[in-house]
Amino acid sequence: MAAFKGDRKKTGIGLWPPIPDPAYDFRQQDPHPRSPNPEVPTMYTRILVPVDGSTFSEQLIGPAAAVAKATGAELALLRVVGNAEDYEAARLYVERLAAGAGAKALCTSASAGVAAAIREEAQQVPATLLAICTHARGGAMQAILGSVALEVLRGLGGPLVVFRPDPTSPAALSKIGRVVLPLDGSDASEAIVPQAAALAKWLGARVIVVSAIEPSMQQDPIVLSGDVQESGYVNERARDIAERYGVEVGWEVLHGDPKKVIPHFVRGLGDAMLAMTTHGRTGFQRVVTGSVTAQCLRDAGVPVFTRLP
């Protein structure tokens, strides 16, 4: 059984209580029944980083190279060109970048569009992890991801890593020690759990399951019961993920606006990335909505492993 750690307070990650309540059976009360053979990848064999000639798009090359070296995966850089007359210059550009990073250079024409070319190359090699920098300019998901990245995500059929470089913030981490997994109990937020667990295991990282209690509930007379209820849910999901996927898991309940407390929490860890779907439920325990994912991508300053639910 994988190590399981939890939080017995509202802040900080502590140890799982040494004497669990024998009357509480997590598996009998689990609303997400265990699958004996979860069909999830155990590792990625290739990391694919698209570049477009700008230094902005190159920000993930160094971190991706470090991860590739640590995991034994192949690193490939992809340059997609729209015009045939630009092909030779693009090929030389990506070959120069690849040589400096110990990567494979790929150059292709975008006859059916840039997003389609990226998606096609990603699907050419099974177990490819696509990592792409985003051009964030606003609060909407399309503005945050950019039209190309969003189109790739919609057609890929699986998760990818997106990162928004910020000149005022540190570069993307080369070593990921924790994968923060925000959940809100919805099927949408849970959709990424198997892939997030597999990613953490591949990286040799620990999963941190988090949930947030909305500010409006702080003023509610029954906030204590809501707090306890949310803690029980996160506690339960963390334990199940640890047992099911064989990865070390911690958990945390955050208090405040999810769009603020999740990025703040992740930044404070110093060695984390996020794993979250693009939307979930609304209301009392809303954590993973498109707007929250976009805000985290913009403000957390870390790579986000994401997918459509």
Task: Please state the rounded mean pLDDT for residues 126-132.
Answer: 93
109: which 2 tokens?
């024409």
* DSSP output for 46-93: EEEEEE-SSTGGGTTHHHHHHHHHHHT-EEEEEEEESSGGGHHHHHHH
169 vs 68: which has the higher pLDDT: 68
Give tens-digit pLDDT for 182-240: 998 888 889 999 999 999 999 999 999 999 887 665 555 554 555 556 688 899 999 99
Termini Cα distance of the chain? 28
Provide CATH code, domain 26-36+173-307: 3.40.50.620
210: left (phi over 0), alpha (psi -120 to 50) or beta: beta
Question: What is the pTM for the complete model shown?
Answer: 0.78
Residues 6+ apart with CB under 8 A from 82: 109, 110, 114
- Average the pLDDT over each of 122-131, 213-222, 272-281 and give the range with the smallest value: 213-222
CATH topology of domain 46-163: Rossmann fold (3.40.50)
Q: What residue ranges do the domains of the chain occupy?
A: 26-36+173-307, 46-163
Q: CA 227 to CA 290: how far, in whole Å? A: 24
Residue with tokens 């970048």: 97
Q: Hey, do 26-36+173-307 and 46-163 end up sharing a CATH topology, with the first three levels equal?
A: yes
Give tens-digit pLDDT for 85-121: 999 999 999 999 999 999 999 999 888 788 899 999 9
Burial 179-195 (b: 16+ CB within 10 A, else e): bbbbbbbbebbbbbbbb
In the chain, the amino acid numbered 174 is S
Give tens-digit pLDDT for 227-261: 556 688 899 999 999 999 999 999 999 988 888 89
Residue with tokens 């059929």: 157
At residue 39, φ and ψ (nearest 5 deg) are -85, 80
